[in-house]
């Protein structure tokens, strides 16, 4: 069975978020340890979708966790979520986890405070991929 969460994580693997070459970490399960290595993007199934004989549409959520407040122009949760958005939307994406035909934004990146030291930015995407 195809795993659209792993497909999306594969697209985001190696995504640079600043001029220093900082690479965005991804996780399938948000652990306390993951929050120790900010920024990180939590990629998960959002529920819903549809299927044909050829492909399947799954809804995938992304939530970026980033340090807050930022200083010296460091990337914010929203700016990182916008980079994630730019990397995902469109397609196709040929990943080690499977083939994505298209990614559509269902909900644009939206920032939310999480704690006094961490902010989040969430979005939901429709991921059209091949059934394996």
The SS3 call for residue 90 is strand
Instruction: Of 31, 42, 36, give the one whose Cα is nearest residue 5.
Output: 42
- For the domain bounded by 4-130, which CATH number is listed? 3.30.2000.30
| Contact between 30 and 125 (Cβ < 8 Å) | no
Q: What is the pLDDT along the chain (132 residues), one digit of tens a residue?
A: 789 999 999 999 999 999 999 999 999 999 998 888 899 999 999 999 999 888 999 999 999 999 997 777 889 999 999 999 999 999 999 999 999 999 999 999 999 999 999 999 999 999 999 987
CA gap 91, 123 in Å, rounded: 17
Instruction: Of 107, 106, 111, give the one whose Cα is nearest residue 77.
Output: 111
**Looking at residue 44, what is its pLDDT?**
98
**Looking at residue 106, what is its pLDDT?**
97
Q: Could you state, in order of their start, the residue ranges of all structural domains in the chain?
A: 4-130
**Looking at residue 1, what is its pLDDT?**
74
The β-bridge partners of 40 are 25, 65
């Amino acid at each position: 069975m195809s795993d659209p969460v792993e497909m999306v994580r594969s697209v985001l693997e190696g995504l640079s978020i600043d001029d220093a070459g900082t690479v965005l970490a991804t996780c399938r399960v948000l652990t306390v340890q993951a929050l120790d290595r900010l920024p990180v993007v939590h990629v998960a199934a959002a529920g819903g979708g549809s299927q044909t004989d050829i492909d399947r549409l799954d809804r995938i959520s992304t939530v970026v966790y980033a340090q807050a407040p930022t200083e010296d122009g460091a990337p914010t949760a929203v700016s990182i979520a916008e980079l994630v958005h730019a990397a995902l939307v469109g397609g196709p994406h040929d990943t080690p986890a499977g083939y994505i035909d298209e990614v559509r934004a269902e909900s644009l990146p939206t920032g939310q405070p999480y704690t006094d030291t961490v902010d989040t930015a969430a979005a939901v995407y429709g991921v059209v991929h091949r059934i394996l």
